[in-house]
Amino acid sequence: MASVVKGRYAELELWYNNADISDDIRDEVESFTYTDTAGEMCDSIEITINARDEKWIKSWWPQTGATLHPRIIGHNWNVENDRFEMDCGVFIMDSMEYSDAPGKIKMGGVAKPADTDFSDRDRGDVWQNTTLKNIAQTIADRYGLGLGFDGTDYEIAKREQNGPDGSFLQQLCSDYGQILKAYSNRLWIFDREVYKGKRAVQDVRRDNMIPGSFTWTQDLAGTYAGGEFSYTDPDKDADLTASVGSGKRILSLNQYASSLADAAAQLAAALNNENHKMIQMSFKVGGNFHLYAGGNVRIQKFSDNMDGKYYCETVTHTVTRGGGFETSVETVGIRDAFQSWMVGGSIEYHQQTASEIPEYVSTYETTSPAANSANAAAAGSGGQAVQLNNCPLYVSSTAKTKANTVTGTYYLYDGILIAGRYRITNVASRCGKQPIGQNVTGWIDANQI
């Protein structure tokens, strides 16, 4: 391919069913587009081929279902003779289009698993007493896929599956604010709000952008200032309610939750999902090997209203005939997220005979940390540091006999008072973190704080 600027150029390397065909097709590739997304499960590619040579409609006819493994190579990118490489991953060719006069072929591929059962086979499973990570690992193992888990693990008391593994796992992840992505024969799960808190991978100034490519929008429609969660458990004959925030734009959820902590996690995730795209920004730059979906960028040199850190939702890399390379970026503004520990609520049991049934009362009735009447005397709040001295430690909220005695600095796990006791943890970063069993040290009486 010809040079573009000062000897800099990009080219496509491509493996077709594990055979390197880069040299065979290099002069016939009109364009290659790789779409890297953190909002959809699958990345995708499109290759446009100059197919005037009849070999393309005869012996070289591409077959749907074939594996495509592309890489973008940048030559002389920063200095003479240097080389940058972007491995786009492994894709399944799922579409092809041929047009004549002149002959042209467009091949499309997606990064989903090759086994069609992942996307198409309906399953009727019931998952019980497990975790999000364990479910993902079980599904990945079914298809011989690896699992990369960089998310927040949540305890799943019960979840019914009525559909394919792919759509079920994607919905389950979404319910808890996690992103599922298929890449290079692996499933990847990460916590989007945690990723938004990471440092920006690159600063992008106004003069770095291709002129006329920048757009910025803000839309309050479909966004929320708070939420309410309600669920009636017929087995326990109990009503679970939870809430966070205030104002006119309130999201209402009525769905299964196994506990107040579970309801809080789902409500916070739903609000963050709805508010995710309130501020959107897009731009184009010259080919960039450092920008990727799920990373953050810092925009500069516009105005105080638009400058700042943004999360990359979709990054599209396009290589064209002659060595051209361009990157398009779609981002969302990063704003304060709802956290599960902000959510307050209660469980009301209708049965009158079970006097030992615990009463669930949260410190947080709204985003304000003012304790409700049940907690006012104990004055406990999620994340609060407490100094303990020979304090009895229990294994549950109702245990009659202490399991240990602890001394030192501990932290209230979630500030939820249950049967007169609080969960504690010995590390501040574990407060509110799932799964509960792996992050809670034990229970203490409320009068100890």
Banded model confidence at residue 269, pLDDT cuts 50, 70, 90: very high
Distance CA 140, CA 146 (A): 6
With a cut of 90, say whether residue 414 has pLDDT above it: no
pLDDT in tens, 215-267: 999 998 889 999 999 999 887 788 899 999 988 899 999 999 988 889 999 99
Of residues 399 and 225, more confidence is placed in: 225
CA 65/CA 59 separation, integer angstroms: 17
Q: Which of 27-31, 110-114, 172-176, 353-357 has the lowest mean pLDDT?
A: 353-357
With a cut of 90, say whether residue 91 has pLDDT above it. Answer: yes
Tell me: pLDDT of 50 over 90: yes
Q: How far apart are the first and last CA of the chain?
A: 71
| pLDDT above 60: residue 334 | yes
Q: Tell me how far apart the alpha carbons of residues 100 and 276 are, in angstroms, rounded to a whole number.
A: 43
Residue 360 has pLDDT above 60, yes or no: no
Contact 177, 269 (CB under 8 A): yes
252: its two tokens: 């209402």
Cα–Cα distance for residue pair 398/400, rounded to 1 Å:
6
Q: Is the pLDDT of residue 273 over 80?
A: yes
Q: Is 394 exposed, middle or buried (0-12, 13-18, 19+ CB in 10 A)?
A: middle
Q: What is the pLDDT of residue 379?
A: 53
Residue 322, classed as helix, strand or coil, is coil
- Tell me the per-residue pLDDT of 20-43, one tens digit each, with 9 for 90 and over: 999 999 999 999 999 999 977 789
- Check if the beta carbon of residue 241 is closer than 8 Å to that of residue 346: yes
Which CATH number is 9-110 given?
2.30.300.10
Q: What is the dihedral of CA 256, 262, 264, 268, to 10 degrees?
A: -80
286-290: average pLDDT: 94
According to DSSP, the β-strands at 250-254 and 226-233 are parallel
- pLDDT attached to residue 115: 77
- Residue 237, classed as helix, strand or coil, is coil
Binned at pLDDT 50, 70 and 90, residue 374 comes out as very low
pLDDT of residue 134: 95
pLDDT at 373: 35
> Is pLDDT above 70 for 377?
no
Instruction: Answer whether 111's CB lies under 8 Å from 44's CB.
Output: yes
Say which residues have a Cβ less than 8 Å from residue 303's Cβ, sequence separation at least 6.
Answer: none
- Residue 351's pLDDT band, with cuts at 50, 70 and 90, is low
Q: What is the pLDDT of residue 120?
A: 87
Q: Is 425's pLDDT higher than 80?
A: yes
Give the burial class of 400: count Cβ atoms within 10 A of its Cβ; 0-12 exposed, 13-18 middle, 19 or more buried.
exposed
**DSSP secondary-structure letter at 267?**
H
Residue 144, by phi and psi: left (phi above 0), alpha (psi -120 to 50) or beta?
Answer: left
On the question of pLDDT at 86 being above 70, the answer is yes
Tokens at 81, concatenated: 């003779």
Q: Is the pLDDT of residue 287 over 80?
A: yes
User: Beta strand pairing status for 19-20 and 126-131?
Assistant: unpaired
* Of 13, 49, 14, residue with least CA distance to 30: 49
Residues, the chain: 449
Highest mean pLDDT among 109-118, 120-129, 427-436: 120-129
Cα–Cα distance measured from residue 411 to residue 39, given in angstroms and rounded to the nearest whole number: 35
Q: What are phi and psi of 249, to 5 degrees?
A: -90, 90
The radius of gyration computed from the CA coordinates of the chain, to the nearest angstrom, equals: 27
Q: Is the pLDDT of residue 8 over 50?
A: yes
CA distances from 436 to 153, 155, 178, 379, 442 (A): 9, 7, 17, 22, 10
Question: Which residue intervals of 242-384 are DSSP H helices?
Answer: 260-275, 373-376
Q: Report the candidate in 88, 98, 172, 188 with the shortest Cα–Cα distance to residue 132.
A: 172
Locate the domains of the chain by residue range. Answer: 9-110, 117-183, 222-276+339-370, 378-448
pTM: 0.77
- Residue predicted with more confidence, 372 or 188: 188
Mean confidence (pLDDT) of the chain:
87
**What's the rounded Cα separation, in Å, for the pair 168 and 89?**
24
Which class for 338: exposed (0-12), middle (13-18), buried (19 or more C-beta within 10 A)? buried
Least confident of 228-242, 248-262, 307-321, 331-345: 228-242
pLDDT at residue 109, rounded to an integer: 94
Predicted confidence at residue 6, as pLDDT, reads 64
Average pLDDT over residues 337-364: 64
With a cut of 90, say whether residue 14 has pLDDT above it.
yes
